[in-house]
Amino acid sequence: MAYTVEEVERDAMRDLLEDVLRDPKHLKTFLDRLVEEDRLRELAPEKRLRGLALEERLEGLDPALIEAWLKQQRRHDH
C-alpha cells in the first residue's frame, strides 16, 4: 500500500505536536514563531522593511525592475 502525501503530512504534524508537547521550551518556541509569522503577515510592506538597509531591501529584485522604477521616479521629479 502506498504512503500518501496526506499520510506524510498527518504523521509529520503528529510528530511535531508530540515534540512540542513533550518539552515546554519547545512549546514556547513553537508558539512564539506562530505569533511572529501572524504579526508579519498583518504588517504593511513598508513596516516590514523598516530598519533594513537599502541593499537588504533590494536583495533578490531583478536589476531591470529596479532601473525601470528609478527611471520612472526621475521623470516624476522633473
Provide the pLDDT confidence category of residue 69 given band limits of 50, 70 and 90. very high
pLDDT given at position 65: 93
Please work out, in degrees rounded to the nearest 5, the angle formed at the alpha carbon of residue 41 by the alpha carbons of 38 and 42: 90
- For the full predicted model, state whether its pTM sits above 0.85: no
Query: Which region, left, alpha or beta, applies to residue 53 given φ > 0 means left and ψ of -120 to 50 means alpha?
Result: beta
pLDDT given at position 33: 80
Whole-number Å distance between alpha carbons of 30 and 26: 6
Whole-number Å distance between alpha carbons of 59 and 51: 14
For the stretch 9-61, pLDDT in tens is: 999 989 988 887 888 888 888 888 888 888 888 889 888 888 888 888 889 99
